[in-house]
A and B are shown apart, each in its own frame.
Chain A
Amino acid sequence: MGAFDFLLQGLATASEPMMLLYALIGVTLGTAVGVLPGIGPALTVALLLPVTYRLDPAGSLIMFAGIYYGGMYGGSTTSILLNTPGESASIITALEGNKMARKGRGGPALATAAIGSFVAGLIATLMLAFLAPWIVKVALVFGPREYFALMVLAFVTVSAAFGDSALRGLTSLFIGLALACIGIDQLSGQARLAFGVPELLDGIEVTTMAVAMFAVGEVLYVAGKSGQEDDKVEAVKGSVWMNRQDWARSWKPWLRGTAIGFPIGAMPAGGAEIGTFLSYATEKKLSKHPEEFGEGAIEGVAGPEAANNASAAGTLVPLLTLGLPTTATAAIMLAGFQQFGLQPGPLLFATNPTLVWGLIASLLIANAMLLVLNLPLIGLWVKLLTIPRPWLYAGILLFATLGTIGANPSTFELGMLLAFGVVGYVMRLYGYPIAPLVVGLILGPMAEQQLRRALSISQGDWFTLVQSPVAAVLLLIALLALVVPLIMRARGKGQVLSQLAADED
């Protein structure tokens, strides 16, 4: 059976009423958290992990994917109307979108963002569906050393390749790897770094870490900054519909944004932001109205928004086919799979095709739901932006701690939440990225296992790691991704890289 048949079967699974309900809950929650400043899709999925523990795996995963897609849609609303990006992939949208809103063209800006997201989501999800079986075929011959090399590549690209400081990215990654060592060693059964504390034997809960880093750290940081002038919400004036000229100027940026965003998401390069920056630069160069850029050019909203959604779909390629998360949200979704005893990767396509293809097909449905939720109901989402800050952040911490207490109602767990929250606060103060830590915590044990397996097979010969051509090439790329940016920064060309900084979500 080809990808097309699988996709049709998946559509049948995904259009069962219960699955539609899960998808609807997911996209609604996702849009809400995308709109609200201070919480992103990674945190929301982490909070829902304990709640979904008893629910249906397929439904829960469909809900998580809906949250991911919805977060990408919702973020654009905040950027356009508030000039404060709701999540990091929408920073660029804020540049042109907020200018448009101030000129009374907020409606068309929201419309081009929503329709662009839909077009990009549709094309990118179809690309995911047709690409996945190919990668699965390749990945089936991967052994431990190839997986280890892939994970090393993901570590490097998530931490050191982009952003303004390799030191900070690597420090964050290695703190994550250090925390990943805590608990019982999977291969020998020995307790590591547990210091006789029984709570530590199971290792550090991903949920606790994500909530501490994304919710507690963020709220502390915003609290420290509070008291500065409040951002003004721009009212949506006039029609939300785009006129003929808007359409004419939007459709090419949508397609170009998709073409840029999807491959970047699909490569283990981390972050939807990079695609949005590249798309913005491309549109600025190709536009017939370059003078409008910086003053509210519709191309500058259409392209990056499409790129942002296309890379969200792209991120699912390595996650589903290789089990390799390249963003914080994907890392938390991996934890979601593991909670149900599922390991994403080539085998999952063979052992549980209904689930995988149902998930992919549900993305198409979620995408259509999001278009409906976001265009006619935009007024509702704008109201969310007017929640007073004290209630908003008090509520965020209420639900954040609820997730942790729900997973494990112990004082020790809450103590860890507080301690890591303070760590997350200090990391934000000094510009340390958060995503490498989360990816390190989740991928660390898997990388260690693959490494030790590979070395067991070769009876301790380290050269085995570079004797397979695939692994050697992957490790070489990882080395280049580590060294080339260091040289670029040393030569004073760091600005390009810090513009490509990958942020939290």
Chain B
Amino acid sequence: MSTGDQQHARRHPVAALIIAAGLAALAGVMLWDSARLADMGGYSGVGPASVPRVVAFCILGLSIWTVIEGFRGDFRHPEHQRVSPVLWVIGGLAAQLLLLHPAGFSIATGFLFAMVARAFGKRNLAMTLPIGIALSFVVWVIFSQLLMLHLPAGPLERLFFPGG
């Protein structure tokens, strides 16, 4: 693992710089937003823009602190991560998001289920996808029909519950 450690060692400041840049961007957005608020301080002298401004300046400070820590090499390097399972999980969530309204809860969540199972090693989507859809449908029936939760219905749900 010595080569891996060296790679990590070189990556530290980069990771710290990226995080610091993200924090600075967040602070920038907050300052920009608070600048357009009418500051009606009233009696207190503290209006709606004050707290976001203070928080933004603290985040700027933390961003600078992150850069310093990054260059001091204090930044903890992440454990080794495999990229493809992470992408499968993200893909599954994205698929659910895109399918939820056109295809309904069961089909969308079935895709999520199968793709997450794929990330953890169940590679046969032809098996996991039907299982996922069936399971999601059972969940949909329990939660939308019995517990009255609002879950989007699609063709599959309307097939069994035309009214729902």
Which residues of A are interface residues toward B (Cβ below 8 A)? 50-51, 54, 165, 167, 170-171, 174-175, 177-178, 181, 185, 187-188, 190, 192-193, 195, 216, 219-220, 223-227, 388-391, 393-395, 397-399, 401-402, 405-406, 409, 411, 414-415, 417-418, 421-422, 425-426, 429-431, 448, 451-452, 455-456, 458-460
Contact assessment for B51 and A181 in the assembled complex, using a CB-CB cutoff below 8 Å: yes
A43 to chain B, nearest CB (A): 16
- Mark out the residues of chain B between 123 and 164 whose CB falls within 8 Å of any chain A CB in the assembled complex: 128, 132, 135-136, 139, 143, 147-152
Within 8 Å by CB of A174, from B19, B58, B83, B105, lies: B58
Q: Which residue of B lies closest to A216 (CB)?
A: B93
A326 to chain B, nearest CB (A): 21
Contacts of B132 in A (CB 8 A): 394, 398
Q: Given the interface contacts A414-B96, A455-B46, does A224 sit within 8 Å of B86 by beta carbon?
A: yes
- Mark out the residues of chain B between 88 and 106 whose CB falls within 8 Å of any chain A CB in the assembled complex: 88-90, 92-94, 96-98, 100-101, 105
Between-chain CB contacts (< 8 Å), 5 pairs? A190-B37, A395-B135, A429-B81, A455-B43, A456-B43
Contacts of B107 in A (CB 8 A): none
Contacts of B148 in A (CB 8 A): 54
Which residues of B are interface residues toward A (Cβ below 8 A)? 15, 19, 23, 26, 29-30, 33-34, 37-38, 40-49, 51-52, 55-56, 58-59, 62, 65-66, 69, 74-76, 78-83, 85-86, 88-90, 92-94, 96-98, 100-101, 105, 109, 112-114, 116-122, 128, 132, 135-136, 139, 143, 147-152
Interface of A is mostly: helix
B52 to chain A, nearest CB (A): 5
Contact assessment for B116 and A178 in the assembled complex, using a CB-CB cutoff below 8 Å: no
Contact assessment for A414 and B100 in the assembled complex, using a CB-CB cutoff below 8 Å: yes
Contact assessment for B149 and A226 in the assembled complex, using a CB-CB cutoff below 8 Å: no
Within 8 Å by CB of A390, from B46, B83, B121, B147, lies: B121
CA A455 – CA B54 in complex, angstroms? Answer: 15
CA A266 – CA B105 in complex, angstroms? Answer: 42
A355 to chain B, nearest CB (A): 23
Q: Given the interface contacts A175-B26, A394-B116, does A405 sit within 8 Å of B151 by beta carbon?
A: yes
B147 to chain A, nearest CB (A): 6
Contact assessment for B90 and A398 in the assembled complex, using a CB-CB cutoff below 8 Å: no
CA A117 – CA B37 in complex, angstroms? Answer: 52
CA A422 – CA B56 in complex, angstroms? Answer: 22
Contact assessment for A188 and B149 in the assembled complex, using a CB-CB cutoff below 8 Å: no
B140 to chain A, nearest CB (A): 9
Contact assessment for A393 and B120 in the assembled complex, using a CB-CB cutoff below 8 Å: yes
CA A91 – CA B79 in complex, angstroms? Answer: 19
B110 to chain A, nearest CB (A): 9
Contact assessment for A193 and B120 in the assembled complex, using a CB-CB cutoff below 8 Å: no
B122 to chain A, nearest CB (A): 4
Add 19 more A-B contacts to A171-B59, A401-B96 (CB < 8 A). Answer: A51-B143, A51-B147, A51-B149, A170-B62, A178-B59, A187-B48, A192-B49, A193-B29, A219-B89, A223-B88, A223-B120, A225-B80, A226-B82, A227-B82, A394-B128, A411-B101, A430-B76, A431-B76, A460-B43
Within 8 Å by CB of A178, from B56, B82, B85, lies: B56
Contact assessment for B113 and A398 in the assembled complex, using a CB-CB cutoff below 8 Å: yes
Contact assessment for A397 and B82 in the assembled complex, using a CB-CB cutoff below 8 Å: no
Contact assessment for B15 and A430 in the assembled complex, using a CB-CB cutoff below 8 Å: yes
Q: Which residue of B lies closest to A448 (CB)?
A: B51
B109 to chain A, nearest CB (A): 6
Contact assessment for A193 and B33 in the assembled complex, using a CB-CB cutoff below 8 Å: yes
Contact assessment for B151 and A394 in the assembled complex, using a CB-CB cutoff below 8 Å: no
Q: Given the interface contacts A178-B59, A219-B116, A429-B78, does A171 sit within 8 Å of B23 by beta carbon?
A: yes
